[in-house]
Amino acid sequence: MKHHLILVVDDDVLSQGLVCGIIAAAKPNSRSIMAANGHQALEICREQEIDCVLVDYEMPDMDGLTLVRLLREQYPFLPIILCTGAGDELLAAETLKSGATDYFPKNRMSPVALRRAINNAIDLNVRMKTIHDQQADIEAFGFALAHDFKQPVRQIITFSDMIAQETKRLKGERLPQMLKFMSDAARRLDSLVDVMVQYTLLQQTPELKLCVFSAIFKETIASLQDYITARNAKVNFSGDALVLVNASFLSQVLQNLIINGIKYNKSEQPVIDVSVTQNGDVAVVNVTDNGIGIEKQYLEHVFKPLTRLHNRSEYEGSGLGLTLARKAVVAMRGDIRCESTPGVGSTFSLRLRTAAAQDAAA
């Protein structure tokens, strides 16, 4: 259980002590800090990560509603509860309009009621932040995807018109080439639709189970064997671990990283080294290639939707592979990072939870 840091804002020292005492009884694992006025509260919030703020309504210089508005402007997802001894329905309505998460009369304050109010406020703001992040993510993805859809659609329309004109002349010399262009454009559009569906599905929480990493790796390599052979590539593997993952998600991540390591590669023989090391509750998986590498200034962008560092004529792809890989890893409560040297290769490091992590959580 997380130890919450709760800020109590009240100009009355006795009231401060009373509220902090009730918080201590309500949430023994949490810690309270006090501010005597709104200005001091704003300063504390700038310096520390506060989990919930309890604000007194009647304070000199800056009343509780004003402080609530200022806090909400600066911290959109901070749980804020306005406390007062003179509560009424009009004040409650004004409190919520000002941006407070909840309203709590002091005369009803008890450990049970306060614990419920704080937990509800924190849970509500966590959900609001999650929804906001997902909406922003989907909007950015939607705009980028719509832009990327246009090119293959325009190509399909253009070559359809040209084929129609060519057919009218009863001369079919250029028809095969036009049909190929049209087919390629349609396939790119089909691929974009597929990754869009995957991206949307990855918003859902996957079922996680303990799996032997090497078993998932072997199945992944089996599905890629034709591609690996056709590119004269070599994939090495070492180490193992019992990891807490979704097998389908992990397989998709490995497929993406291995294919990228082979695709973005100008070596005579693309080589992919996959190694697994376990350190307590974390397993570190390194996928290293001898490919073209990534410039330092682009490393922070490789996981963003539809980011393409190369021309489509040089390297095919949707620009969503690494985005989906990162979302899959995060959905499994893991982490993925990239280090790269242009002309030498790249290493993608995955940090996955292990059986020890599951035991610790239990």
The tally of CA atoms less than 13 A away on the side-chain side of residue 359 is: 8
Contact 336, 329 (CB under 8 A): yes
Cα radius of gyration (the chain): 28
Q: Which residues contact 90 (CB under 8 A, 6 or more apart)?
A: none
**Helix, strand, coil percentages for the chain (3-state, nearest 5):** 55, 20, 25
Cα 248 to Cα 250: distance, rounded to the nearest angstrom: 6
How many helices and strands in the chain, by DSSP H and E?
A: 10, 12
Reading the block at residue 122, the tokens are: 């924190």
Reading the block at residue 290, the tokens are: 């001898």
Contact 246, 206 (CB under 8 A): yes
- Residue 89 is predicted with a pLDDT of 59
Contact 50, 40 (CB under 8 A): no
Contact 234, 269 (CB under 8 A): yes
Domain boundaries, the chain: 5-131, 205-362
Secondary structure (3-state) at 107: helix
Cα 21 to Cα 78: distance, rounded to the nearest angstrom: 22
Cα 67 to Cα 82: distance, rounded to the nearest angstrom: 10
CATH topology of domain 205-362: Heat Shock Protein 90 (3.30.565)
pLDDT-flagged residues of the chain (< 70): 1-2, 85-89, 136-152, 168-173, 188-205, 298-299, 301, 303-320, 357-362
- Residue 308 is predicted with a pLDDT of 46
CATH topology of domain 5-131: Rossmann fold (3.40.50)
Closest CA to 350 of 341, 338, 362: 338
Contact 282, 354 (CB under 8 A): yes
- Residue 272 is predicted with a pLDDT of 95
Tell me how far CA of residue 301 lies from CA of 225, 253, 308, in angstroms. Answer: 30, 18, 9
Pairing of strands 234-239, 209-212: unpaired
Closest CA to 265 of 310, 220, 218: 310
Closest CA to 175 of 196, 160, 185: 160
Pairing of strands 52-56, 80-84: parallel
Would residue 287 be called left, alpha or beta, if left means φ above 0 and alpha means ψ between -120 and 50 degrees? beta
Cα 258 to Cα 256: distance, rounded to the nearest angstrom: 6
Tell me, yes or no, if the two domains 5-131 and 205-362 fold the same way: no
